[in-house]
Amino acid sequence: MTNLFIDARNLLSDLINRYRPQVDYLSIRLEHTETTNIMLRGRTIETLSEGLGIGGQVRACYKGGWGFASFNNLHDLELRVVEATKAAKLVGEEETLLAPVSPIQGTWELPLTGTNPRQIPLEQKKELCDRYSDLLTSYSPKITSATIRYGDSSQRILLATSEGTMLEQSWVDLEMRFAATARDGEMVQTGRETTGSRRGYEDLLNLDAQIQGAADRAVTALTLPPVKGNTYTVVIDPILSGLFVHEAFGHLSEADTIYENPDLLETMSMGRRFGSPELQIFDGAAPQGHRGSYGYDDEGTPATTTQLIKDGVLVGRLHSRETAGKLAEAATGNARCLDYHYSPIVRMTNTWIERGNTPVQDLFSGISTGVYAKNWLGGMTNGEMFTFSAGEAWMIRNGEIAEPVRDVTLSGNVFKTLADIEAIGDDFYWDESGGCGKGGQGGLPVGCGGPSLRINNVVVGGEAEE
């Protein structure tokens, strides 16, 4: 692998120099990836594979038009460069506007603090999945199915551009997903857990309590009453806060969505107030130790930390070089692609709401009837509207956590919900389980974080009031 990249540097430099005069911008990205994927349903193996991928992509821009070509063989690289430059010239008819960045010459590697999963035999990874599957299925006779997913990947990237960048980057990512389904007659309930890491294989070894928690929630929910659908004051835990800020607000901050939509650009205008002066929202790959952290994005822009909302007011958004150029703003290092089959697009990295000043126990004070929601089960967004399902929930009565309930979904408009945040807790939690999807590029590792929140006027779906 190392020899491949050493040998490829001269080839990439030569092609960049020869074809640079034909376009406004040219980049070649070479990628080497090793992966493991395991999926079990109970003890039945549905996927058990190790893979090695070598390939790359060429991107060319001419008069604002982009050409793209991918390849699996270096012998075909020049043909792909020709294809990408021709395609760019066919569609280009305006002006190429790319926010400036300084060329990078060097190497960046995300350090592991534990064992590289590539050093762990496939049999050992399979044994880990079997043990976790047994934990789920043996928890209760009411568990009728259990699913275990394991994945790890090691990526090494070489990026060369017509502006002088020659950058090599590498990282390792791990993820496990667990689901337990319980049944009692016609009643079916599911508990889920997901965990991820970019630190080392050891982070996946001691998850027994987390896994049994998923099984317990599924079984317990079989006997719980459904929540009565209504509009409530809701307290959500940090995991749901992280999910909310990522799904409901983060995607609206991605500038490729904004600049192509004049109505959204007006809605997301700088200086507009969205929440109380206590509300602070950030996104950035610069904070170390999270799944959305890196040194440079897939265009060679250095990682940054971007404040999106400051004191309740919109002050920033997330950019690729193209979106930053078109909106006359600075590139933020948010151009990312899942692998060489896809062109980089604007993606979140680590997105979080900063902790507040309210003690968590005080978030419940004064709520006569409300809902306390924790963890996540699922969800969806559609523009500024969102719906999330809580993994577990309780009623709040007279300022105290009361009886548990099931089937709690939280729905609303993100802008109204931000304005309805009444208090921000002084706790905080980073959720490293995220795999974000956009533009057909699913499973891109991200981090989410936040404190507990108290939100007024949340529509909670459930059983109709009699």
**Secondary structure string (H, E, C) spanning 48-88:** EEEEEEEEEEEEEEECCEEEEEEECCHHHHHHHHHHHHHHH
Q: What pLDDT does residue 380 have? A: 84
Separation CA 333–CA 276 (nearest Å): 28
Helix (H) or strand (E) holding 193: strand 187-197
Residue 396 burial (CB < 10 Å; 0-12/13-18/19+)? buried
Residue 86 lies in a domain: yes
Query: Tokens 């880990």 — which residue?
Result: 128
Tokens describing residue 327: 């909106």
Separation CA 62–CA 21 (nearest Å): 11
Report residues of the chain scoring pLDDT below 70.
1-2, 462-466
Q: Are residues 158 and 141 in the same domain?
A: yes
Strands (E) across 301-384 are located at 305-310, 313-314, 335-336, 345-346, 350-353, 369-382
Separation CA 212–CA 218 (nearest Å): 10
The CATH number assigned to the domain holding 101 equals 3.30.2290.10
Q: Are residues 338 and 255 in the same domain?
A: yes
What amino acid occupies position 172? V
Query: Tokens 């999963």 — which residue?
Result: 117
Q: Are residues 147 and 165 in the same domain?
A: yes
Q: Answer for the pair 210, 415: CB distance below 8 angstroms, yes or no.
A: no
Q: Answer for the pair 461, 225: CB distance below 8 angstroms, yes or no.
A: no
DSSP string over 148-174: EEEEEEEEEEEEEETTS-EEEEEEEEE
Contacts 24+ apart (CB under 8 A), 388-395: 388/240, 388/243, 388/244, 388/247, 390/236, 390/240, 391/191, 391/192, 391/217, 392/217, 392/221, 393/227, 395/227, 395/369, 395/370, 395/371
What range does the domain containing 281 cover?
A: 230-461
Q: Are residues 182 and 265 in the same domain?
A: no
- Please identify, among 221, 254, 269, the residue that sits at the C-terminal boundary of a domain: 221
* Side-chain-facing half-sphere of 165: CA atoms under 13 Å: 27
Q: Are residues 208 and 172 in the same domain?
A: yes
Q: Are residues 181 and 247 in the same domain?
A: no
Q: Are residues 52 and 122 in the same domain?
A: yes
Residue 271 lies in a domain: yes
**For 355, which DSSP code?**
P
Q: Answer for the pair 269, 314: CB distance below 8 angstroms, yes or no.
A: yes
Q: Answer for the pair 110, 172: CB distance below 8 angstroms, yes or no.
A: yes
- The structural domain count of the chain equals 2
φ, ψ for residue 8, nearest 5 deg: -75, -25
- Give the Cβ contact number of residue 3 at 10 Å: 7
Residue 313 lies in a domain: yes
- Please identify, among 202, 221, 240, the residue that sits at the C-terminal boundary of a domain: 221
Residue 172 lies in a domain: yes
Q: What pLDDT does residue 447 have? A: 95
Contacts 24+ apart (CB under 8 A), 1-5: 1/32, 1/156, 4/30, 4/32, 4/54, 5/30, 5/32, 5/156, 5/158, 5/168
Q: Are residues 142 and 179 in the same domain?
A: yes
Q: What pLDDT does residue 6 have? A: 82
Residue 466 lies in a domain: no
List Cα–Cα distances, 84 to 24, 26, 66, 88, 394, in angstroms.
12, 9, 8, 6, 56
Q: Are residues 200 and 334 in the same domain?
A: no
Residue 338 lies in a domain: yes
Q: Are residues 339 and 372 in the same domain?
A: yes
- Please identify, among 167, 195, 221, the residue that sits at the C-terminal boundary of a domain: 221
Q: Are residues 212 and 239 in the same domain?
A: no
Q: Are residues 247 and 116 in the same domain?
A: no
